[in-house]
Structure 1
Amino acid sequence: MSDLPPLDPPEGDGSDEALDMAAAEFALGVLDGDERAVAIRRVLAEPGFARSVERWRTHWAQLFDLWPAVEAPDLFARIERSLDRPVEAPIATLALAPPIRSKLWPALAGLSSIAAAGLLVVLVARPVPVPPAPPARPAAPVVAARAPTLVASIDPETAGAATVTAVYDAPAGTLRLTEAKLVGADQSAELWVIPADGTRHSLGLLHARGGTVLTLSRDNRARIAAGAVLAVTVEPIGGSPTGLPTGPVVAKGALAQV
């Protein structure tokens, strides 16, 4: 038994057992292909599913810390020892009565001699064809390593507001976010990335409806990494006029690799 506390049940936002199981598989990294694509779309579209994924990711991380790696047993030595054992006589042979065996073995030996002589004649009389050279196999295409997916749950500071989920598409250099209802109609919600050096860099403005897709500059793409923090501040309409945050932080969350 481990010292790991039991996993808290999913929050009561309509999630059922099937949703929580899909979130666990996505957080563990066992989904691939179409299943992985569906799970990423659900993270963007369903705040409850995104929270469940984050909850499972934290749970798996504790398990990995508690269970050290175990080296696989050496099976080759066991196989070699089993090959050195003497071959036991078949049960059917042992069960034959002595009179039957005395007649059966000479007959089988005679048939084997005839078959061997016939095979020898065929091999001597028939020339052995030279097998054609195997065709050259084309070189396997080099598959580029897939960039890891980064996801963040940007949690609001105000109780009752919806969590904003962000998914970074490294090949396209885009950041996709769910709708952000974090500020009033006479204000703008501006997204910032805070890398390890603690300096805030603007990524763009968020939409209150329909979600947001931000195409990042080359410099900001280099700042998007696991552990970097995404923060949302309240700014005047059109964003910060100074290039730095002018209003309070209303939501934030760290990027994590999936």
Structure 2
Amino acid sequence: MPTDFDEPADDMMAAELALGLLEGDERAVALRRMLADPAFAREVETWRLHFAQLFDLWPGVEAPEGLIERIDATLGGPGTDRRPSRLPWPLLAIASSALAACLLVIVAIRPDPAPVVFTPAPAPVERTGPVLVASLDYEKTPIASFYDPSRGSLRVAASPDIAANRVAELWVIGADGVPHSLGLLTRTATALTIPAANRARLAAGAVLAISVEPLGGSPTGLPTGPVVAKGALSSV
């Protein structure tokens, strides 16, 4: 855990993401990096835990009436004509912590330490809408996923540990409650291009699920084996 604040952190992007300070393309780049780089994901989680401990030790309290005006008067000196700041800094600190917790639902994971080769992330592009993330509950460690509607691309950070003669298949379950296959997962990270027919089903609130199927995938078009992981998509 970073404790020496006299020296710059190795990667300030991790701290900024943990505090919810990144927006737009910068946040999208950081989320993609979190899925592709286990070390970066662990650093984000380390910062999140560090900030959470600080807020536990010093919870936000309501400032006494007139306190900010007295501080401003002291800083500005006698006779200052500056308008006193009424910025609710304790509330902003709490809000930043809450936002960081929402964004980091996908980093409450312990990524597979096996080395995985990823292609460099593409340059930021103009997006037509929000991105979707989900953390799929799995018995060993949650599995993070990231969906970019503007490209129709879905990345799943890992795959369940299953027998060699079986395969993990990813499904989306929308409001109709019917599972629709999105494709088969590899043993490590998987990038899928979603067909147009399924893109509308990938929306906030829809559930991603992983089932264990025979080699080649489900022969029926519906899950035939046990569902070992699932989680709802959230817009960020």
TM-score, scaled relative to structure 1: 0.50
* Deviation (angstroms), 1:198: 0.8
Deviation, structure 1 residue 167: 0.8
Is the Cα contact below 8 Å between 1:45 and 1:178 reproduced in 2? no
Residue 7 of structure 2: aligned partner? none
Q: Which has the higher helix share?
A: 1
The equivalences for 1:208-247 within 5 A come to 208-209=187-188, 211-247=189-225
Q: Name the counterpart of 2:56.
A: none
Corresponding residue of 1:24: 18
Equivalent position of 1:45 in the other structure: 37
Per-residue CA deviation, residues 115-148 of structure 1 (Å, 9 max, x unaligned), is xxxxxxxxxxxxxxxxxxxxxxxxxxxxx76310
* TM-superposition CA deviations, 1:161-217 (whole Å, max 9, x none): 2322111121211111112133111100000000111111000100112x1111111
Q: 1:254 to 1:185 in 2, by over 3 A?
A: same
Give the TM-score normalised by the residue count of structure 2: 0.55
Gaps of 5+ in 2: 1-9, 53-125
Separation in structure 2 between the aligned mates of residue 254 and residue 29 of structure 1, nearest angstrom: 24
What is the alpha-carbon distance in structure 2 between the residues aligned to residue 185 and residue 47 of structure 1? 28
The 1:48–1:155 alpha-carbon spacing in structure 2 relative to 1, beyond 3 Å, is farther
Superposed, which structure 2 residues align to 1:10-159 within 5 Å?
21-25=15-19, 28=20, 30-34=22-26, 36-46=28-38, 49=41, 52=45, 146-156=128-138, 158=139
d(CA) in 1 for partners of 2:26, 2:233: 23
SS at match of 1:152: strand
Q: Output the amino acid matched with 2:217.
A: G
Rg bigger for which structure? Answer: 1
Instruction: Work out the CA distance in 2 between the residues paired with 1:196 and 1:23.
Output: 31
**Aligned equivalents of 2:154, 2:183: Cα separation in 1:** 10
2:175 to 186, 193, 196: 196
* Letter matched to residue 199 of structure 2: R
Q: Distance in 2 between matches of 1:48 and 1:251?
A: 24
Aligned equivalents of 2:34 and 2:211: distance in 1? 26
Instruction: Please report the RMSD computed on the Cα atoms of aligned residues, expressed in angstroms.
Output: 3.3
Unaligned runs of 5+ in 1: 1-15, 60-143
* 2:229 is the alignment partner of 1:251: yes
The percentage of counterpart residues that share the same residue type is 45
Q: How far, CA to CA, are the matches of 2:29 and 2:178 in structure 1?
A: 33
User: How far apart in 2 are the matches of 1:47 and 1:203?
Assistant: 28
CA contact (8 A) 2:160 2:228 kept: no
CA distance in 1, matches of 2:222, 2:232: 20
Runs of 4+ displaced beyond 4 Å: 16-20, 50-53
**What amino acid is the match of 1:219?**
A
Q: Answer yes or no: is the 8 Å Cα contact 1:152–1:254 preserved in 2.
A: yes
- The corresponding residue for 1:163 is 142
Counterpart code for 1:248? P
Q: How has the CA–CA distance of structure 1 residues 166 and 47 changed in structure 2, closer, same or farther, with 3 Å as cutoff?
A: farther
Contact preservation (8 Å) 2:180, 2:222:
yes
